[in-house]
Structure formats: C-alpha cells, structure tokens
Amino acid sequence: MQEVMKIEGGHELEGEITISGAKNATVALIPAAVLANGPVTIVGIPQIADVANLSKILQMLNVEVTEIGQDHLIIDPTNMKNVDLTSDAVTKLRASYYFMGALLGKYGHVKMKMPGGCYLGPRPIDLHIKGFEALGAKVKFEKACYSIDAEKLIGAKIFLDIASVGATINIMMAAVYAEGRTTIENAAKEPEIIDVATLLNKMGAHIRGAGTNVITVDGASNLTGCFHEIIPDRIEAGTFLIIAAACAKRMVINNVIPQHVEALTSKLQEMGVKMEIDVDKIIVEKADHLTAADVTTRTYPGFATDLQQPLTSLMTQAEGQSKVVETIYSERFKHCTELNKMGANIELINSGALINGPTPLYGCTVQATDLRCGAAMIIAGLIADGVTEIQNVYHIDRGYCEIDKKLEALGAKVWREMAE
C-alpha cells in the first residue's frame, strides 16, 4: 500500500495563494546555522519532508531544535556534538551534504554517508570535494561514507569548473572559519546563495560578492546566533504561475520576488499568458490562446531547470511544436514518458524534448519520478479530463509546502488515498 494523490481535472481555478520560504535556501540555511555558537532563529521555514529530515540530523548532532508556530525554527548548536552522520536520514535528501561544509568548517572533521535526493542523471560532488581539498582538507571515501579531515583550513583560490549551487554554498560554509581569504571563482549566482551568505554574514562571517561569479570569504574567529527570514521560493512561485496559466480564470500569487522568476514570466508572456507583475505579487489572467515556445535551461538568471518539467505540462496545451533543451541535468525527462501516458505528444531528443500541441490530456495513473516531475504531474492532472492518480507522492512532499491545501483553496479537486 502507498499513499497516492488524486486530482479530478478540468476545474477552473480562481483565488489567491501565498508562496512559502524557499526550499533550496532552507535546506542550506539549516546546516549553515550550526556554524554559529548560539541560537539562530529562522523564519519562513516551509513544512516539507526535507526540513523534517534535516531536523533529525540536527538532533543526532545534539543541536537543540525548537519549532515555534508553523514556520519558525530556533536552532541552538551550543551543546552540539560532531558525531558521524551515518543514518538513513542523510540519504533521504541531497542537501544533507551541506553538513560536510558546515561540520568541516566548524570542527575540521566530518564523517557522513553519501547524500541522496532526486535521481536526475549523474549528480557528482567532485567540485565540493576539490574545494575542501583546496582549503587543506584530506578526503577519504570508504564503505559509502566520506571522511573529511583538516588540521587547519587555510583560505585558497578555488575555480569551479561548473557554476554549481551546492559546491558554492558548501565551500562558503567550509571557509567561514578558515585562516585568510578564500576566493570562489565561477561561483553560482542563484538567489539561494545570496540568502545563505546573508545568514552567515548576520552570524559574523565576512562574505562578499554572493550573487556574482566571484565570492570572497575572509575567515572569522567567532560566529554568533542571529535572526533570519528566508526568501520566497521562486520554484514554487514558478509552479503556481504555470498552474495559473494552465487552468485559472485569475490567480493572485503573493510573496514573490518577480526578478527571481523573470526567465519564466517572460517565457509565459511569449506563450500568450497575460499577467500583471507588481512589487511582491503576480496576477495571472486566463489566456485565450497559448502558442508554442522554445526554452533552454541555464544557471541563474537563465531559465531554471527545476521549472522545465512543470512548463512541459503547459506546453502540451500550446499550439505548435515547443522545444525544451536541458543543459543542467541531461536525464531530467522522466516526466515526458508520464505525460505521454496521459495523451501528450512528446518526442525525446538528445538532452531535450519536442512537445507537439495542443493535445487533450486524460486522467490515468502516473509516477512522480522526482520532485519536479511530481509538479508536472499535478499540472497535467489539473488540466486533464477525468481523475489522475499520482504515485510516489513522497517526492512532492519533499519540496512543496501544503500543496494540497493551496490547490484546494483555489478550487481544485485534490485528495489523497491509500492504493495498491
């Protein structure tokens, strides 16, 4: 038996929703908080399974975690113990690897299992490791565990072959206490990196340049507790923008930083979606006609790979042939097989997909093969005729905060059941 999500499609949505704190910032902010020597309060924590798993890891480290209300977390590492992280909680999410940088930075030693997360094709962490080594650490990989040790971390110049989000954040965290200056060149520029650097600087770190491709970290001697509010989730905002474009009469999406979703909003406008972009909200009106478009995923500020899968569902409703090219994760196309089961006409090409539309979609049983595939299935289910059953729904719960409630508030028919 497993829990499945069911969606009865074809209902026109209308109303307002508020976007939660950014998952991909949160999952780095929580490990970053352990670098402090006092309590860190983080506000805007989304209720997602990844957060629950990170809290478990904090508890293993004897870090005191206090939840206040729905979205406040106080993380107090005052009595922390640097134990080996070899439990399964580590393998349940990708972001557990941020404890590598945080624990190495604070104690000069970390031992942990290989991180997990969505399968999107190969996801090596060689750049993280090279960064730690450049700071003076020795890295061993034995029996599915990394052991990373440094007598002393010394600032270094590190050039990332790929502008990796994870490596940029992990190296930043490992370097906050290192002696001297660390320079990360070809750093990733995603908004979540700025958010993590902001938290660390509030704690007393000296990080400059976050949000550009050169980040410098000057070693600090002590980091203290602080208060921080997480940025809105640009991927959740993007998902709801696409849902609105697919099936809403009118939707008001609150708590958005429009600049963070510009690559998507301009693409949607090109496809014929009407929207009004305000300072911190976006209002989407029903489109009379959607036209096909081409999109290529890029690092920020380019089109986010995490929105490529949800957008594909919308493209099945656009007139003409759309093309999606994936440059970050070449195998992130499992959603296309699922969409084809529902009646889409998608052809897979090398690192890309050709979507021929419009095609009616019909409810059937599909898999959320990964988190954003799950989002793509929700969108398709909302459009489809009949009932769609989404299996492996735990992937969706890893990253979308109260998605059922938010959809129901907009008038969608969504429920969960236990199924074979």
Q: Which is nearer to ligand EPU, 81 or 138 (CB)?
A: 138
Q: Which is nearer to ligand EPU, 98 or 363 (CB)?
A: 98
Binding test (CB under 6 A) with ligand EPU, winner from 146, 240, 303, 329: 329
Min dist. Cβ of residue 144 to ligand EPU (A): 17
> Is position 331 an interface residue for ligand EPU (rule: CB under 6 A)?
no
Binding test (CB under 6 A) with ligand EPU, winner from 114, 144, 162, 349: 162
Q: Which is nearer to ligand EPU, 13 or 339 (CB)?
A: 339
Q: Which is nearer to ligand EPU, 30 or 178 (CB)?
A: 30
User: Which of the stretches 141-149, 158-166, 248-256, 280-288 binds ligand EPU when contact is defined by CB under 6 A?
Assistant: 158-166
Binding test (CB under 6 A) with ligand EPU, winner from 57, 171, 328, 390: 328
Min dist. Cβ of residue 328 to ligand EPU (A): 5
52-91 binders of ligand EPU (CB under 6 A): none
> Is position 123 an interface residue for ligand EPU (rule: CB under 6 A)?
yes
Binding test (CB under 6 A) with ligand EPU, winner from 24, 55, 312, 351: 24
Q: Mapped to the 3 state alphabet, what secondary structure does the chain carry?
A: CEEEEEEECCCCEEEEEECCECHHHHHHHHHHHCCCCCCEEEECCCCCHHHHHHHHHHHHCCCEEEEECCCEEEEECCCCCCCCECCHHHHHCHHHHHHHHHHHHHHCEEEEECCCCCCCCCCCCHHHHHHHHHCCCEEEEECCEEEEECCCCECCEEECCCCCHHHHHHHHHHHCCCECEEEEECCCCCHHHHHHHHHHHHHCCEEECECECEEEEECCCCCCCCEEECCECHHHHHHHHHHHHHHEEEEEEECCCHHHHHHHHHHHHHHCCEEEECCCEEEEECCCCCECCEEEECCCCCECHHHHHHHHHHHCCCEEEEEEECCCCCCCCHHHHHHHHCCCEEEEECCEEEEEECCCCECCEEECCCHHHHHHHHHHHHHCECEEEEECCHHHHCCCCCHHHHHHHCCCEEEEEEEC
Binding residues with ligand EPU: total (CB under 6 A) = 26
Q: Active-site residue 336, yes or no?
A: no
Min dist. Cβ of residue 235 to ligand EPU (A): 6
Binding test (CB under 6 A) with ligand EPU, winner from 79, 124, 142, 420: 124
Binding test (CB under 6 A) with ligand EPU, winner from 51, 73, 167, 226: 167
Q: Which is nearer to ligand EPU, 171 or 275 (CB)?
A: 171
372-391 binders of ligand EPU (CB under 6 A): 372
> Is position 419 an interface residue for ligand EPU (rule: CB under 6 A)?
no
Q: Please name the amino acid found at residue 365.
A: T
350-369 binders of ligand EPU (CB under 6 A): none
> Is position 125 an interface residue for ligand EPU (rule: CB under 6 A)?
yes
Phi first, then psi, for residue 326 (nearest 5°) are: -110, 120
Which residues participate in catalysis according to the annotation? 118
By the criterion CB under 6 A, which residues form the site for ligand EPU?
24, 27, 94-95, 118, 122-128, 162, 164-167, 188, 235, 305-306, 328-329, 371-372, 399
